[in-house]
Amino acid sequence: SLSNNIRVLAVPNTETPTVTIRASFAMGQRDEPAGKAGLTSLTTALMREATQERSAAEFSEALERIGASVSVNSGQYETTVTLNTLSKHLDKAMSLMMERALKPAFTEEDFERIKSQTIEGLMAARKTPQGLAGRAINSVLYGSTHPLSYPASGLPSTVESIKLDDVRSYYAAHFPAHLTGITVSADLPQADIIAALQGFAALEVTEAYRAPIDGLPEMTGRTLYVVNKEGAAQSSLRTAQPSIKFDALGDYYKAGLANFNLGGTFNSRINLNLREDKGYTYGARSGFNGGQELGSFGVSAEVNKEATAASVTEVLNELERFTAEGMDEAEYDYMRSAIGQRDALQYETPGRKLGLLSNIMRYDLPLNYRTQQANILKETDRDTLNSLAGKLIQPDNLAIVIVGDEAVLREELEALDIPIKHLDEDGFEIE
């Protein structure tokens, strides 16, 4: 760790004479104030523009001269600033990385331009069934005003309400105070890496506090949520139910193994049924999605308009059959060999290695957790996985979202005999 107790995790990169350094800050969607969804995304977009020392064009030129890149990305819980440079230009590149992270200009001109581009993009995304379905299913799963229920870029109405002062004060609350760790992929001695990070070592940091948000709304029974998309040629189908949060070495990891044959691979039951057998879709999948605080299980597919209700019925049948019977011996053997091969090739590039380190840091995992996962894969028997699937997947308690042409679909959806509610294009219930 650095002198300010910031953890540094490094992995050797012998493939190329390059260094990749990623600094993570606790600033994400989860931290956005009520009514300001999209603030993190807007802030990070502005951090990619002018700095206090150079215009955006001058900054790009300085990077080009040394063949380096600096990117800023945000997610639900963190914002990362990532540098990629040739080892011989590390000093110059580091000063550009620090400038990008710590000296954004946040000019009125950049703000107005990025804000209006963001709103235009959101209006366009709102026209796609997939965009509407993503917001709708999260709204139902988390509750319509939960910070994680919104699209990463917010809604047109929430972005409209963001002022430049909101961006400045939001950034100041988290940068640089909430630096949480640094990951490095480099073919350099440890002393050189630590020397390069002295700018970060000099920062005053404090631990970020987040008031807990307790669990997800309970789901009892099945409910169908319909978002009308007039003239839609196909329908977006999503299901969701609360489930377990991320755990690299426990039931969450095993749940991923259990789901593999249900909807986690091209040859899965749900995909073979809806795509290969019925021709309803180009692809359907299911999976567990767990984070630091919350988790869910869901199914997603874009289906032919004529097969919307039939697709819902088939998905429910597959979920019921799988929770009752689980995978058979052949599926179990296939899953173990396919996941074993996939994982062996997963961390070949510097970017992938950094992702692995980020995971270790984010969840405080043992350094050899991938080896431990490989052992769990070898040692967990079929009955254990099947009984876990039976416990975690609950076909009788779930939300089903359909985005499609309601006038065309109404009759067949009513025939499913599942209570129907209606959502507007922003994911709020229409009374």
Describe the crossing of helices 56-66 and 90-102 by its angle, rounded to 10 degrees: 160
Which pLDDT band, with edges at 50, 70 and 90, does 345 fall under?
A: low
pLDDT value for 169 = 98
Instruction: Provide Rg for the chain, Cα atoms.
Output: 24
Residue 310 tokens, joined: 């039939």
- pLDDT tens digits for range 62-105: 999 999 999 999 999 999 999 999 999 999 999 999 999 999 99
- pLDDT tens digits for range 168-201: 999 999 999 999 999 999 988 989 999 999 999 9
Asked if residue 37 has pLDDT above 70, the reply is yes
Higher pLDDT, 126 or 163: 163
The H or E element containing residue 21 is strand 18-25
pLDDT value for 247 = 95
- Say how far apart CA 130 and CA 324 lie, in whole Å: 31
DSSP line for 123-166: HHHTTSHHHHHHHHHHHHHH-TTSGGGS-TT--HHHHHT--HHH
